[in-house]
Amino acid sequence: MYFWSTRNIFFSRHFTFFHHVGIRINSRLSTFIYVGWKKTFVFSYKFILYTAGSSVFLLLGILGMSFYSSNEPTLNFESLTNQSYPVALEIIFYMGFLIAFAVKSPIIPLHTWLPDTHGEAHYSTCMLLAGILLKMGAYGLVRINMELLSPRSFYILSMVNAIRFHSNNLCSFNISWSTQYKKRIAYSSVSSYGFLNFRNWFYKRDRAEWGYFTNNLSRIIGAALFFSWRETSYDRLRLLYLDEMGGMAIPMPKIFTIFTTLSMASLALPGMSGFVAELIVLLGIITNQNIFSSQNTHNFVTAIGMILTPIYLLSILRQMFYGYKLF
């Protein structure tokens, strides 16, 4: 059921996001509630409240665009792409879909469900959330906000990009202060998606889709494997706080090697998958001057996030695998 709904989300030519998103959420919620840890019920309610609230905006946006069509109600993407809307109505649709997919991506300030969910859910749920569910949110921003509502969406792009600047950098700062192992890696997903969502709006339409799929492919592979080996190391140690760990490299060489490789891919080391994704981000910022007046602002703020990323990833490696605290 989960695979079927995911396939239809990414390949459907009709506006069936709400139906298939609901199937995916319900299938994951059952695993989250019955196979989890101490505070699973508390955070499962938080998860369903956030996702259900965002789905209301998604449903209202779909129905509004469908019934506003010129001849008869339709959910076909090709018909809705050629539909024109008043400026005020298009901005309302845009903001509704933005809120809906900002929870799914997630984007600050609608991201607080993610660290708690990843901290308490079973590892299989974490892998599916990080590997697929978060990608659906960014895909919705490209497929709906950029494709269907792009002609006049530049009215609010300054606000959106300001939020994405902070989504990347603030999460990187939160990671540096967090000592809980699972939550720190969960915040890394929010930080990396600040790059992806931010990059979407610095390209022309044809290059945006190519850049999105390149970046998302890297995140799908890296995030799922990263969370898988996070749970593998937790299963061996049964420790959650980094200040309790140390010295894992010698007794667990395989976990150390794979975890280090995935960390290098996430921090965009040349030769790894993340390098191409981050290179696309910088190229999009350098070659586009339509969003803000100053190009240096883009480069400076993005460079801060790219500097903070290796800091917190290398810090995790140092605290877990080096030193003599544990062994």
Percentage of the chain with pLDDT > 70? Answer: 52
- 74 part of a folded domain: yes
- 280 part of a folded domain: yes
- 54 part of a folded domain: yes
Phi, psi of 241 (to 5 degrees): -105, 135
Question: What pTM did the predictor assign?
Answer: 0.74
- 95 part of a folded domain: yes
- 233 part of a folded domain: yes
- Render pLDDT for 94-135 as a digit per residue (tens, 0 to 9): 888 888 888 877 777 777 777 777 777 776 677 777 667 777
206: buried, middle or exposed (CB in 10 Å: 19+, 13-18, 0-12)?
Answer: exposed
- 205 part of a folded domain: yes
- Render pLDDT for 272-295 as a digit per residue (tens, 0 to 9): 766 776 676 666 666 655 544 455
- Render pLDDT for 157-216 as a digit per residue (tens, 0 to 9): 666 666 666 666 666 666 667 777 777 777 776 666 666 655 555 554 445 555 556 666
- 326 part of a folded domain: no
What is the domain count for the chain?
Answer: 1
Domain with 36, as residue range(s), is 2-321
* Dist. CA 291–CA 190, nearest whole Å: 23
Average pLDDT for the chain: 69
pLDDT band at 61 (very low <50, low <70, confident <90, very high): confident
Checking if the pLDDT of 43 tops 80, the result is no
- 207 part of a folded domain: yes
